[in-house]
Amino acid sequence: MNEMDNSYYRKQKSIQRFFDVTYSIFRALLVIGISFIIIYPILQKISVAFKDKVDIYNPTIYMIPTHFTWENIDLAMGILDYFPMLGKTLLFVIVTTLLTTASCALAGYGFARFNFPGNQILFAFVVMTILVPSTTLMLPYYLHFKNFDILGVVSLFTGKSGVNLMNTYWPSIITSATAIGLKAGLFIYIFRQFFKGLPKEIEEASLIDGAGGIQTFFRIMLPNSVPPIITVVLFCFVWQYNDTFYTTLFMSGMELMSLKVATLSSQANQFIPVLMGYSHGSGFKADPNHVAMVVDTGILLAIAPLILMYIAVQRYFVESIERTGIVG
Amino acid sequence: MKWNSMSLHRKRSMLGFVFIAPWLIGFLFLYLTPLVQSLMFSFTKLVIQPVGYSLEPIGFENFRNALLVDANFNRVITSSVSQMLISVPMILFFSLFSATLLNQKFRGRTLARAIFFLPVILASNAIASAEQAGLINLIGSGAYLDEMQADLSSYNITSIVYMLMDVGIPRSFVDYIVSAILGIYDIITSSGVQILIFLAALQAVPSSMYEVAKMEGATAYECFWKITFPMVSPLILTNIIYTIIDSFTGSPVTTLIYSVAFETQNFGLSAAMSWIYTIIVALILVIVGFVLSKRIHYN
């Protein structure tokens, strides 16, 4: 009897084991497959970036070129005016990110912890700013920032009708400082949810100890709210860097990464002959395949800073989202 | 009124206004005013003058033009809304699936997670349009591009279609599956944030629930449908709303509205178009919210 039991359990166990192994193989295949789909375009661009022109028409080459070169990167950097532009872009993105985070943190705290009249209604408006497509505001924004003037202050002093803020950083800086810029409603929501989840006792203790409301916020609440700050900073940075909606609307003539990359192909067509030593009028046309290589390299250069940043901070992405309390 | 003579309660609520002040100023002057202006523009003919602009009320003319006269608007908006309705369930399904996958313990999980969230960073319209332009440049014409892309991606999908039809799956459903397979890259790249949210939700499920279920003899399948799914269901609504909002940014409707305003200078028409779009999206959100909020399990 005992022996039969034993063999039965052993059989059950081996069946179980078989299923476990099959499942983990299946899972590994799935994960690897999906990962491949995601990183394949990047690998391809890396391969193209180092490939020499000679290899374009060699059909035996897959991914790993036989002639390595820096030429594509040089050309793409020349067309994009890479480092000066990257500097300007980063400056712009970092300033708007910091302003957005600061204003959204303040607003989120205000909505989470103060029972002023109209709190609920105003927060409903925050949700509305998330839900209404920004296209609706495109036109008034354009007219507004073309003749920027709050309550007629400018015309009062200078007699002119407002300041033209088009093609400056100001429209984006103003909208981020007032927490209605790119996806700011979402960030206010994240901060509010987080501050709601913090225990009230921390604050009460500091109030009893005699700290004012503003002091409590900066000394007690902010140091405790690292997770949502990281989340908001990361997402805001990435979205600002990639944004084309506000940048084409406000700063179409400025040197920003997202704008330059979007028009890369036509610029490459124009500049490659010049960079290769042909004059404008010579009628020389660059090889389309070569242009495509340079465009791919340019895209790689554009996303490289983001990828480097991501490799450094990727573990915070998951951890911070878990702790922000969006979920709870 | 002096600060000191106010009651503590009043002081607190005034302080609340101090905290939301930046947002409130921004909201009143840079959101609500533009919103009302935009509504006004949609009922007028707007002409840009050397200084400022002039408005000339024309009633519902712009809305009539957008819906009945403009050659592109109806087509673009129906196609992009239906595209959105098709892709939302796919993205949702894929992101819940991936989140469950990434929540399990296996070797290389950290790396897998890092790769799965990469699209959050790389989802950029600028890059997409650069790639598109690069391809058009390569081939010489935009019309041929669509054809070629269809050719490139269709690794003989017909065999799958025949197989599914033979099994007896309805035609429309087969179409849906096929479009999901062909669009797998788009689905994967646009579900980064959704995976992140689901993953966070999954980790918030207390493990004691699974222990009890296991002791009672529940299978993994039952665990998923009786524990995991109800626990993450509030986030399904969040993710649906996020996906719908996310689809605005790069949608062809936005491009069309932009070009009507700034290329053909027809500002009133553009405002009317954007309001029609807003109303349609709001309707979809209300319907989705209403249908789902009744079925969601809140703990």
B87 touches B186 (CB < 8 A): yes
- B172: buried, middle or exposed (CB in 10 Å: 19+, 13-18, 0-12)? exposed
A27 with A138, same domain?
no
| pLDDT tier at B146, thresholds 50, 70, 90 | low
pLDDT tens per residue, range B246-276? 887 667 888 888 888 888 888 888 889 889 9
Average pLDDT, chain A: 82
- For B189, nearest residue in chain A (alpha carbons): A38
If residue B281 lies in a helix (H) or strand (E), which one and from where to where?
helix B267-293
A98 with A213, same domain?
yes
B204 near A CB under 8 A: yes
In angstroms, the CA A82 to CA A60 distance is 33
pLDDT tens per residue, range B215-245? 988 888 888 888 888 888 888 888 888 888 8
A249 with A101, same domain?
yes
The conformation of residue A277, written as its DSSP 8-state character, comes to T
A245 with A146, same domain?
yes
R_g over Cα of chain B: 25
B34/A217 CB distance under 8 A: no
In angstroms, the CA A266 to CA A264 distance is 6
Mean pLDDT across A294-318: 83
Choose among B98, B126, B282: nearest Cβ to A258. Answer: B126
Range ranked top by mean pLDDT from A222-231, A265-274, B177-186: A222-231
B16/A258 CB distance under 8 A: no
pLDDT tens per residue, range A8-54? 888 888 888 898 899 889 999 989 988 988 888 888 888 888 888 77
- Angle separating helix axes B192-204 and B73-103, nearest 10 degrees: 40
Q: For residue B154, is pLDDT > 50? A: no
Partners of B231 on chain A (C-beta within 8 Å) are none
Q: For residue A211, is pLDDT > 60? A: yes
Q: For residue B180, is pLDDT > 50? A: yes
A302/B127 CB distance under 8 A: yes
In single-letter form, the type of residue at position A279 comes to: S
B16/A132 CB distance under 8 A: no
A115 with A207, same domain?
yes
A110/B119 CB distance under 8 A: no
Partners of B287 on chain A (C-beta within 8 Å) are none
Q: Which of A262, A278, A296 is the last residue of a domain?
A: A262
CA distance A318 to chain B (A): 7
Q: Domain of A95?
A: 81-262
Would you state the CATH architecture of domain B68-106+192-299?
A: Orthogonal Bundle (1.10)
Of residues A52, A42, A56, the one with CA closest to residue A288: A56
Provide the CATH number for the domain around residue A137. 1.10.3720.10
- For B40, nearest residue in chain A (alpha carbons): A140
Predicted pLDDT of residue A95: 94
A21 with A168, same domain?
no
Of residues B65, B55, B10, B121, the one with CA closest to residue A239: B121
B196 near A CB under 8 A: yes
A242/B123 CB distance under 8 A: yes
Q: Is residue A166 part of a domain?
A: yes
Please provide the DSSP assignment of A104-152 as one string: HHHHHHHHHH---TTHHHHHHHHHHHHHS-THHHHHHHHHHHHTB-STT
Q: Is residue A288 part of a domain?
A: no
B41/A140 CB distance under 8 A: yes
In angstroms, the CA B187 to CA B94 distance is 8
B99 near A CB under 8 A: no
SS3 assignment, position A278 = coil
Tokens of residue B292, six digits = 């789902």
Give the residue ranges of DSSP H helices in B3-72: 8-27, 33-42, 61-64
In angstroms, the CA A25 to CA A149 distance is 64
B274/A135 CB distance under 8 A: yes
Q: Which of A207, A234, A262 is the last residue of a domain?
A: A262
CA distance A140 to chain B (A): 5
If residue B45 lies in a helix (H) or strand (E), which one and from where to where?
strand B44-48
If residue B47 lies in a helix (H) or strand (E), which one and from where to where?
strand B44-48
Give the residue ranges of DSSP H helices in B168-227: 171-182, 184-189, 192-204, 207-215, 220-223
Chain B stretch 208-237, residues whose beta carbon is closer than 8 A to a beta carbon of chain A = 235
The conformation of residue B57, written as its DSSP 8-state character, comes to E
Q: Whole-prediction pTM value?
A: 0.84
Mean pLDDT across B195-218: 86
Choose among A106, A178, A322: nearest Cβ to B203. Answer: A322
Of residues A299, A57, A26, A324, the one with CA closest to residue A188: A324
Q: Is residue A239 part of a domain?
A: yes
A131/B282 CB distance under 8 A: yes
User: How many CB pairs below 8 Å do chains A and B form together?
Assistant: 285
A89 with A223, same domain?
yes
In angstroms, the CA B87 to CA A195 distance is 34
Q: Phi then psi for B47, rounded to 5 degrees?
A: -120, 125
Q: Is residue A283 part of a domain?
A: no
In angstroms, the CA A10 to CA A230 distance is 51
Q: Report percent pLDDT > 70 for chain B.
A: 85
A250 touches A240 (CB < 8 A): no
Q: Which among B4, B8, B9, B30 is the top mutation candidate for probing chain A, defined by the most A β-carbons within 10 Å of its own β-carbon? A: B30
Tokens 């269809």 locate to B150
- A211: buried, middle or exposed (CB in 10 Å: 19+, 13-18, 0-12)? middle
Choose among A34, A140, A298: nearest Cβ to B188. Answer: A34
Q: Where along chain B do its domains lie?
A: 1-42, 68-106+192-299
B84 near A CB under 8 A: no
Q: Which residues lie across from B56 on neighbouring strands? A: B45
A41 with A99, same domain?
no
A206 with A112, same domain?
yes
| pLDDT tier at A97, thresholds 50, 70, 90 | very high
Predicted pLDDT of residue A98: 94
Structural domains of chain A, count: 2
C-beta neighbour count of A206 within 10 angstroms: 18
Q: Which of A233, A262, A291 is the last residue of a domain?
A: A262
A234 with A109, same domain?
yes
In angstroms, the CA B269 to CA B59 distance is 12
A43 with A189, same domain?
no
CA distance B54 to chain A (A): 12
The conformation of residue A281, written as its DSSP 8-state character, comes to G
A146 with A52, same domain?
no
